[in-house]
Structure 1
Amino acid sequence: MKHSALLIAFILSPFAGIHHVQADEQDEHPILLLNEDSTFHFEILGGLGQALTGGGDISPILGAAKNVTPGDFDKFTDIFYRLANETKAAALDPANAYDPINVRDTWFSAASYFRRADSFTHGDWDDPLINQLWEEMLSAFDKGINALPIPGQRVKIPAGNFTVEAIWYSAYSGGKHKKCPTLILGGGYDGAQEDMYHTIVTNALVRGWNALTYEGPGQPTVRRNQNLGFIPHWERVLTPTVDWLLANKRAEVDTKRLALYGHSMGGYLAARAGAFEPRVKAILLNGGIFDVHESYLDQSPAVLTDLYKAGQKDAFDETALSLLSNPNVSSQIRWGIEHGMWAFKTKSPYDFFHQTEQYTLKDVISRIKVPVWIADAELEGFFRGQPQKVKEALGEKATLHPFTGTAGYHCQAGALQELNRAIFAWLHKTLG
């Protein structure tokens, strides 16, 4: 049954004026909000966190934040694209090249700004800017990893009907290779492996850990280059990745201290894959996700949840598409649906939600036999309540680590030092 214009207006009315509501709730946040739009606040905060490890500078990011209009995706892209190009120009300045640290950090900063610019571009695939931003980002990032003391190595790992995109970072700079503990790091819904360099890899390297980041179907580069959406059986991604690691880097990898980390929705992916990968000796989930579908329904407007549960596909799609076109609707809702259709490669919002029903640990979590660390963020905005469900299912094998206050945002945005302290303290305690 078609919704009338009047009914759609009624459905959308609860979301009108959402920016003013968020502004009034400033005191409920543990830090100063960087934008009245909570999704923009989170994205900018994530960029500031990367500044600690050479992925940007604080004042330029705050300068960009000052000019961002709540809910305006296009303006957000334009502002960070301009900053990325200004930083790229600085990286290309011949005077910059006299200092190798300049080269590394300026290119890493440019790459981070290009990724920020790409954050909300996934609605119109006829726009050439989408691929242009990504190509610029990859080029800048590659110049950054090539300037590391031990250059990062991009690798392509065959995995049946797709190729895993990965980057290898070696911790040992001595003459003969030394076996070091090693982290395999995967992102989630929209996270690029290049972000993982600033989130975890830099901290791993200074602690003597090797790192291998990777992307599979649905994740940014694989989705773009291979036209593949997410797959629920993530062991198809991880197992070939571990195969490659042990076949090509065994001389550098301490196989008794091989750990797997999943970031954001990667908390589901890592748990699912880890259940089938006995060579991994510890698993870290930030945060734990027992049921992806349940999480997506929980963060959706009630009207969408009701229509989905009632099986009203046409009404669900019409309502969801109306939400996408309304600038007064929360950008998290608009971005979540828009990006979900892209990442899961579906033609309609209903099909996207339907696909996520396959993403549950219900039938596989009992297969996990190794210690598991689970992050639980107080201000979690995407997977609230899921870490506790994973902990309950795993029992004594799991350690639930609460992040509260200023470290309480999703994946500890803006508090990466605290995140890494917790991760590596647990790893050293657990694996030695």
Structure 2
Amino acid sequence: MRDVSGESTHTPTRRSALAGLVGGAGAVLAAGCSWSGATSASVPTPGSATPSGAAGDPTPGVMTLFEDPAFNFNGLLALGSSGAGAGEVGEVLTAVNAINKAGLSSQSYVETFRKLGDQLMAAPEGSAADDQTTRLRALRAAQYYGQALFFVLGSDDPGSEEQLYKSGRGAWDKFCDLCDPAPVKTNVPYGKTPLPVWFFRPDESEQRRPTVILTNGSDGQNVDMWTYGVPAALNRGWNALVYDGPGQGQLLFVDQVTFTPTWEKVVSPLVDWLVARSDVDTEKIALTGLSMAGDLAPRAAAFEDRLAAVVAMPGCLTPWLGFPPEVREILTPNKEETNTVWNEEVVPELSAADAATLKKRFEPFSAQAMLDAREGKMFTDFYTPARAVEALDITDVVSRIKMPALVLDYEFEQFYPGQARQMFDKLTSPKDYVKLTAATGAQLHCSPMAPQQHCEVVFDWLDETLSGQ
């Protein structure tokens, strides 16, 4: 970056650029990454009439629920989950209208979706709810609590983060308990903190079945693994394993265990647990990774040879590149220098919204950063979590993968643009590449508006790939 002042690069000009990029892009908050080719100013207002083929417009017309792309992306995830029962179109759109009427902010978003979750967990008006109604309401509540959780650090009550997570987890567990059959719930050993798992089966027979391990990304909740795989697996006669790993769910928000770069040490105990079961076809265990887990799952597959197939959704080699360059350039080899720049030059220039963005982005990589954020404070050690993100780079290990691999990509991929194709090119095992597009409404990171299409692509490929084994 050119220094117009003639001084060192650590100047107010640089800090202003950082604040403008982080705050304006908005979608930095959505997955630790900048919005590629779109800012808040370029996104049409809700309901605006935009030609469906407008170049460079990832969410034309009614696809824009909120002006800010970070909120819009999350709103689209909630809306898209309706196809799997993890949302209701009318509930989501009514919430969107209420938020826009109140004035879009983290506070209005959190309040609206938390209230909706609370309503669904309470008894409905009229007749008493039977188990089926209670189950389905709990699933939608888990989604809405997850929506609130995502923005709670920017609200007036960041300290409620753990309790809000527990509300969503309680809704998820109630849903699971009322499924038929209910998933097997247990803890799989992992270091000092076991991994919570939910093992879904089409029935309670001892039939050996192909099994998919569904891996969440950064900031995803268990309900997202329902939307992106469990029903698709069950409907095809597969088992599906959902779990919380380091930096996710219970391990992050309660146990304060952050992400690890050696994800094979997370997946291998899960495979150990599966191969000990009589209802698992041990020759047909597949691993998928959604969002940032498009980095985690391939990393595990590079070292866990018992897997029969791996799917990266999307392919991601270097999560650190998902952060804007103005954020990345803060990090230097020297911890003291890095943190001095962070605390003295960057943090004082951040708006409240920008600060909330960065608190959210770094909390899965630093327990202290998370605890500080819950107290309404900005973390002071930028160096440690930044290095943790940097350590997730898998560029040099992808070639070790031996099993068949599917790499997904998305038109208007806003978080890891170009990385899916780069991963595909580096793979040396049998491989396929599929790009989901705006032609069928499947654009954007993880196809938030088309998770059913997404699952069709993934499970058709898995069925075909493992059918001959």
TM-score normalized by structure 2? 0.82
Give the letter for the 2:261 counterpart. P
Taking the aligned partners of 2:420 and 2:333, their CA distance within structure 1 comes to: 28
- Residue 54 (structure 2) pairs with residue 19 (structure 1): no
The match for 2:365 is 344
Q: Equivalences for 1:235-254 in 2 at 5 Å?
A: 235-247=264-276, 250-254=277-281
* Structure 2 letter corresponding to 1:380: E
Once the two structures are overlaid, the 10-residue window that deviates more, 356-365 or 343-352, is 343-352
Partner of 2:283: 256
**Aligned in 2, Cα 1:182/1:6: closer, same or farther, shift over 3 Å?**
closer
1:359-389 superposed Cα distances (whole Å, 9 cap, x missing partner): 1213322221000001101111111111111
Aligned to 1:179: 208
- How many residues were matched structurally? 417
Q: 1:357 to 1:425 in 2, by over 3 A?
A: same
Decide whether the 8 Å contact of 1:171 with 1:180 is kept in 2. no
Provide the secondary structure at the position in 2 that maps to 1:410.
coil
AA aligned to 1:371 is: P
TM-score, length-scaled by structure 1: 0.88
The corresponding residue for 1:35 is 66
**Cα displacement (A) at 1:412:** 1.1
Contact preservation (8 Å) 1:96, 1:102: no
Q: Are residues 139 and 303 of structure 1, via their aligned partners in 2, closer, same or farther at CA, if it must alter by over 3 Å?
A: closer
**Structure 1 segments unaligned to the other structure (5+ residues):** none
Distance in 2, Cα, partners of 1:113 & 1:284 = 27
1:213: which partner in 2?
A: 242
**Are positions 1:196 and 2:225 aligned together?**
yes
Q: Which residue of 1 aligns with 2:447?
A: 412
Aligned to 2:420: 387
The residue that corresponds to 2:397 in the other structure is 364
| 2:411 match | 378
Percent identical among aligned pairs is 28
* In 1, Cα distance between equivalents of 2:187 and 2:349: 38
The aligned amino acid for 2:221 is: A
**Mean CA deviation greater in 225-234 or 63-72:** 63-72
CA contact (8 A) 2:113 2:145 kept: yes
Worse-superposed segment, 421-430 or 22-31? 22-31
Segment drifting more, 265-274 vs 116-125: 116-125
Aligned to 2:169: 138
Higher helix content, 1 or 2? 1
Alpha-carbon contact 1:193-1:213 (below 8 Å) kept: yes
Q: Is 1:151 equivalent to 2:182 in the alignment?
A: yes
Are the aligned partners of 2:213 and 2:242 in contact in 1 as well (CA < 8 Å)? Answer: yes
C-alpha distance in 2 between matches for 1:111 and 1:13: 34
- Report the alpha carbon displacement of residue 101 of structure 1 after superposing the two structures with TM: 2.3
Q: Distance in 2 between matches of 1:323 and 1:201?
A: 44
- Correspondence for 1:266 among 259, 279, 293: 293
SS at structure 2 position matched to 1:68: helix
The superposition leaves residues 106-127 of structure 1 with CA deviations (integer Å, 9 ceiling, x where unpaired) of: 1111111111111112468984
Partner in structure 1 of residue 331 of structure 2: 308
- Picking from 117, 127, 133, the partner of 1:95 is 127
The 1:321/1:75 distance shift into structure 2, 3 A limit, reads: farther
More deviation, 71-80/318-327? 318-327
Kindly indicate whether the alpha-carbon contact (under 8 Å) linking 2:402 and 2:428 is maintained by their aligned counterparts in 1: no
Q: Which residue of 2 aligns with 1:163?
A: 194
1:73 aligned residue: 106
Deviations 1:301-350 (A, max 9, x none): x43344436965122455553565344x5xxxx56522232100154334
User: Structure 2 vs 1, CA of residues 352 and 79 (structure 1 numbering), >3 Å: closer, same or farther?
Assistant: same
Shift of 1:54: 1.6
1:295 and 1:386 in contact (8 A); partners too = no
1:325 has 2:351 as partner: yes
Are residues 1:86 and 2:119 paired?
A: yes
Aligned match of 1:281:
308
Q: Is the 8 A contact 1:320 1:349 kept in 2?
A: no
Amino acid at match of 2:304: E
Q: 2 CA distance for matches of 1:392 and 1:277?
A: 21
Would the aligned equivalents of 2:15 and 2:349 in 1 still touch at CA under 8 Å?
no
1:340–1:352: 8 Å Cα contact kept in structure 2? no
Give the Å deviation of 1:282: 0.2
Q: Quick one: structure 1 residues 13 and 52, their matched pair in 2 at CA, closer, same or farther if it must change by over 3 Å?
A: closer
Residues 385-394 or 28-37, more deviating: 28-37
Where in structure 2 are the equivalents of 1:102-121 lying within 5 Å?
A: 102-121=133-152
Distance 1:265 1:237 in 2: 15
C-alpha distance in structure 2 between counterparts of 1:200 and 1:135, whole Å: 23
- Verify the 8 A CA contact 2:316 2:423 in the aligned structure 1: yes
Closer, same or farther: CA 410–2 of 1 in aligned 2, 3 Å: closer
Aligned partner of residue 254 in structure 2, secondary structure: helix
**One-letter amino acid of the counterpart of residue 43, structure 2:** Q
CA apart distance, 1:291: 1.5
C-alpha contact 1:167 1:213 (8 A) present in aligned 2: yes
**Deviation (angstroms), 1:172:** 2.5
Pair 396,177 (structure 1): closer, same or farther in 2 beyond 3 Å: closer
User: Aligned AA for 2:152?
Assistant: T
Q: Check the 8 A contact 1:186/1:193 in 2, yes or no.
A: no
Between the aligned partners of 1:53 and 1:75, the Cα distance in structure 2 is 26
Asked whether the 8 Å contact 1:122–1:342 carries over to 2, the reply is: no
Q: Using the alignment, how far apart are the partners of 1:223 and 1:85 within structure 2? A: 23
Q: Determine the structure 1 residue equivalent to 2:91.
A: 60
C-alpha displacement of 1:351: 3.0
1:304·1:316 contact (CA, 8 Å) conserved in 2? Answer: no
Q: Displacement of 1:396 after TM fit?
A: 5.4
